[in-house]
Chains A and B, each alone.
Chain A
């Protein structure tokens, strides 16, 4: 149980275009999802916390207008990278919990490798 599906697994886009990444909880409802960015050989960097039915909470230094997050249902959150530039190339990962509480582990999608040319 507790499967998180992320799509696409990789995407190549041209500079200036927008890319949408989907994160779905397949067998549980997730009121909160987390979006991470991971640079090569580095740890996870939390970008934002996505809350169903309300605005996402962005971490300091993350541009809200650049990285649009929508959490329209209890099983789907999307991250849209708008007007992408080569420096946005990275590995993006979403995660969610299947139950509330600090002792509940995060379940991760398989990530999306974004390359902006």
Chain B
């Protein structure tokens, strides 16, 4: 079975500072991994995904994530935080075919940007 752990329910960084949101996963099969962002009272928007190939994946809004199999991690980073990055971020891994590949979600990390 798959599972996702996001370390830190809240992460606070200063504007212009590095953003690092942590995600560790557990999967019995090669994982497909996703990061989503949710702004208040809205649905979720895909930031980036890892399926196969290059382990460093780039997404929208300047975010990127690196798949590290040995560490079972898929941490999300952005070199310089912007006020508009303040939101909730969710990491997810695809479930099995018998679950219609539903996504298994982390608990989410709220990113707070300090001016």
A interface, CB within 8 angstroms of B: 4, 6, 32, 34, 41-44, 46, 49, 57, 91, 93, 95, 97, 101-111, 113
Contact = CB atoms under 8 A, between A and B. Distances in A.
B74 interface: no
Interface string B8-28: 000000000000000000000
Contacts of B49: 103, 105
B87 interface: no
A95 to B, nearest CB: 8
Interface of B: 32, 34, 36, 41-46, 49, 51-52, 90, 94-95, 97, 99-103, 105-108, 110
Contacts of B99: 49
22 contacts: A4-B43, A6-B43, A32-B100, A34-B102, A43-B106, A44-B44, A46-B102, A91-B41, A93-B44, A101-B101, A102-B95, A102-B97, A103-B32, A103-B49, A105-B49, A106-B34, A108-B36, A108-B43, A108-B44, A108-B45, A110-B42, A111-B43
Nearest to A38: B38
Contacts of A105: 34, 46, 49
Contacts, number: 58
A24 to B, nearest CB: 13
B32 A102 contact: yes
